[in-house]
Structure formats: C-alpha cells, structure tokens
Amino acid sequence: MTQTPIAAIILAAGKGTRMKSDLHKVLHPIAGRPMLMHLMASVDALEPAKKVVVVGSGKEQLEAALAGSADLAVQEPQLGTGHAVQMAEGALTGFNGDVLILYGDVPFVPTATMQAMIDRLNAVDAPAVVVLAFEPEDPTGYGRVIVEDGRIVKMVEQKDATDAEKAVKLSNSGLMAVKAADLFALLARVTDDNAQKEYYLTDIVNIANADGRTCVAVTTDPFDVAGINSRAQLAEMEGAWQARRRVQAMDDGATLIAPETVWFAHDTVIGRDVLIEPNVFFGPGVSISDGATIRAFSHIEGASIATGCEVGPYARLRPGAVLEEKAKVGNFVEVKKARLGKGAKANHLSYIGDADVGAKANIGAGTITCNYDGYFKYKTVIGEGAFIGSNSALVAPVKIGRDAIVAAGSAVSRDVADGELRLVRAEQLVKPGWADRFHDAMRKKKG
C-alpha cells in the first residue's frame, strides 16, 4: 500500500516545572536515552517526511540533542496545546499529507499504534480527526472522550466537564492524527473560551463535528500513552521499561538469577546462554555474545564482550573495552578503551586503560597502566602471551613484547622486547638475625 506522506509534530513546550530541573524534561533519560529520542525512534520507523518539535524554553538543549534530525518551532508564550500545534504550521508549509501529533513527554507510543491512527485516518469513512484514547483506572485530570455510535460527539477537559462527563472513563491521551489540510484550517477557528483560557487542541474535534464531519477514537493500552511529569514518574517508567526488557532478555535465552536487580540500556545486545548474576548495571553501547558470564556487581558501558568471556564480580568496563573470546576480567578491574585478546586475563585489582593486550597475556593483580600525565593520554601495548607480574606499573607510552615477563612490582617506562625478562626493583638487602637482635636490645632498654 502506498502511503500518504507523514509529518510528526512533537509538543515539548510545556514548562515541566514538576521535574525541578535545568535539563529539559524530554531529555531526561530512560534506559540511558533521552525520552524524546525513544519517541523519535518509534516515529522514524514510519519514515516520516517531516518532524517538528515545538519547544518553549531550553531550545538550545533540544537543538543539541536532535542534531538536525528534526525541525524546531518555538512557542512563546505557551497558550495551550492547540496554539502549540499552530506553531508548527510554518515548518510544514507545502506539506500535504497526514500529521501525527505527539507529546515529547509520552515516549513509549509503539510505532504500530501510530500506524493504526494513520490507517484509521485513511479509512473509507474519512474521519476529520483520529484521537488516541485510553481507559485509565482513574481518569481524573484527563480530558474525556465522549463516544456515541462509534464516533466522538464531544471532547471535554476535566475543568470544563459536567459530573456526567467526569464519570466517563475514556480519556484523551492527547495524541491525534489529522490531515494537514484539515488541521490548520480547524486550528484557526479554535478560541480560548474555556475554564483555563487556553487554546485547546481538543476543540478541533468539536469544530469538525459542528461542520458535520466525523471524528473517531482509536483505543490503546494505558502504558503506551503514559506521560512523565515528575522524577517519581520517570523512575516508575524506568522500572516498567526495565521489567519488559528483562523478560525479553530471558525470552531470548539469557539467564538472570535476580532479574529485578539487572539494569539494561536501550541498546544492550545480549546473546544466548549468557549468565547475568545479580546487581549488574549496563550503560549504553554494550554487546554480549553467546555464553558469556557477567558476575555480580559489575558496571558495564560501551563494551563489547565476546563468546565465553567472564566479567566480574565487581568489574568495571568503560567505553571502548573490547573483550575477545574467553577473555577474563575479574574483581575490581577497570578496563577503558582497551582490547583484551583471546583468552587474555586480568583477574584482580587492575586498571587497563588505552591499551592493547595480546591473546593469552596474563595481567597480574594490581597492575596499572599509567596512561595519563595530567595533560595527554598514552597507549600501552602488551604482546601475546606476555606475563605481567603483580603490582606492576606500566608507564605509557610503552610496549611489552610477546611472551615477555615483567617481574612483580616493576615500574616499566621503557619498551620490553619479545621474550625478555624485565625486573625493575631495588636489589634486596638480606640481614640474617637482625630482627632478633633488635627485639632483644629494645626489650632490655624498656626494662
């Protein structure tokens, strides 16, 4: 089916005061991604011809986040949802398709729901407006959608509603689909003659009805249209998102011993037979291949973990950590911008940053790559099969050759050749019996 072009108008000019934040409300992250970008991803799946975000304050923040992926229209002052949509008219000059109206703080509308609204708009009875409605347990505060014989006879805000209308549960999510040609013509006729002295978007339904047109509701699951107005709702939505993602991970073949303690990012990729122990946090950009084990209390971000790797307990993988097949990163090891080749191991208490570690190399407990001099970062290269003794400091830039051994406690600041032993520590002083004589003398002195 060839589809009419689609434009999305995303409202985000509301003050968002309940967040008490300097960050724009729609940029607060869920699963490591701004809520607006979750919504944009669902919109993008429709391949829209145009996207316009309507913004009040915090325009620069939205500009930076969107990075040119959508147009911005400014609404100043904010005179209501109808007025907000009107602000997008200029950006849609010459656009003649279907318009989807969305809210930036309602981030989890599925693409299929948006498509269902568009399909309904293009059905044979050609409705003027399609409203996305839902039935919350408690509709207090929402606008009500009064439906009779399959068509909306009235849209009414809580503050303007009669008791009989307040008793209606079917509520307005705020989201609509309207043909561009109808939308702006209807909006031009909206007034602010209501309890809140606002230009209500919902009035386009009442005006279309008065013209003898038909307006209809598409009903959806309350979760899909849940809005976020406070930090508590943000946390609630995060929880709901995580709960779904955990089930998905298990359905896809991962074992989560305590699913409710594992936190995924929006883009975490997890293979089959991956074992994730309790209390693991994933930031963005992580992929885990089949059969890897992530032990308890690990924090992992921007990392790629190959088949059969073992990570943690208490490991930290930071952006650019690449673990090749069967590599091991143990407790209290931090890895940043570093590759560990096949079967390489850093099992205890290390910092491996800006490094390339060859296959089967063994990094002893307490080894540190000294990658920073306070001004610049430098690289450490460790050859295949090299053995780094415990508590070594590798002062970058430095190369340790293949199969080389660095003795425990060495501070290595010059390259080590293949197969070399490097030992950087003071000669040992051996004094047999000295301690016994010392104790005797001191005890006598003390009496």
| Site membership for ligand UD1, residue 388 (CB under 6 A) | no
| Residue among 100, 134, 147, 157 that touches ligand UD1 (CB under 6 A) | 157
432 token code pair: 């047999």
CA pair distance 96, 124, nearest whole angstrom: 19
| Site membership for ligand UD1, residue 206 (CB under 6 A) | no
| Site membership for ligand UD1, residue 142 (CB under 6 A) | yes
CB 160, CB 203: distance < 8 Å: no
**Residues paired with residue 355 on neighbouring β-strands, in sequence order:** 338, 380
The residue (of 13 and 315) whose beta carbon lies closer to ligand UD1 is: 13
| Residue among 75, 113, 209, 293 that touches ligand UD1 (CB under 6 A) | 75
Tell me the CA distances in angstroms from 17 to 20, 23, 33, 249, 310, one per residue in order. Answer: 6, 11, 21, 36, 45
Stretch that binds ligand UD1, among 33-41, 109-117, 168-176, 260-268 (CB under 6 A): 168-176
CB of 175 to ligand UD1, least distance (A): 9
| Residue among 7, 8, 9, 11 that touches ligand UD1 (CB under 6 A) | 11
- Counting residues that bind ligand UD1 (by CB under 6 A) gives 26
Residues sharing a CB contact under 8 Å with residue 216, sequence separation 6 or more, in sequence order: 120, 125, 127, 129, 130, 131, 150, 151, 152
CA pair distance 204, 182, nearest whole angstrom: 9
| Site membership for ligand UD1, residue 12 (CB under 6 A) | yes
| Site membership for ligand UD1, residue 172 (CB under 6 A) | yes
The residue (of 184 and 281) whose beta carbon lies closer to ligand UD1 is: 184
CB of 87 to ligand UD1, least distance (A): 8
| Site membership for ligand UD1, residue 234 (CB under 6 A) | no
CB 324, CB 303: distance < 8 Å: no
Q: What is the largest CA-CA distance in the chain?
A: 112
| Residue among 95, 108, 134, 200 that touches ligand UD1 (CB under 6 A) | 200
| Site membership for ligand UD1, residue 86 (CB under 6 A) | no
Stretch that binds ligand UD1, among 78-86, 206-214, 248-256, 402-410 (CB under 6 A): 78-86
Cβ neighbours, 10 Å, residue 68: 7
348 given a catalytic annotation: yes
- Ranges within 261-320 binding ligand UD1 (CB under 6 A): none
Residues that bind ligand UD1 (CB under 6 A): 11-14, 54, 75, 78-81, 83-84, 103-105, 142-143, 157, 171-174, 200-202, 227
Catalytic residue IDs: 348
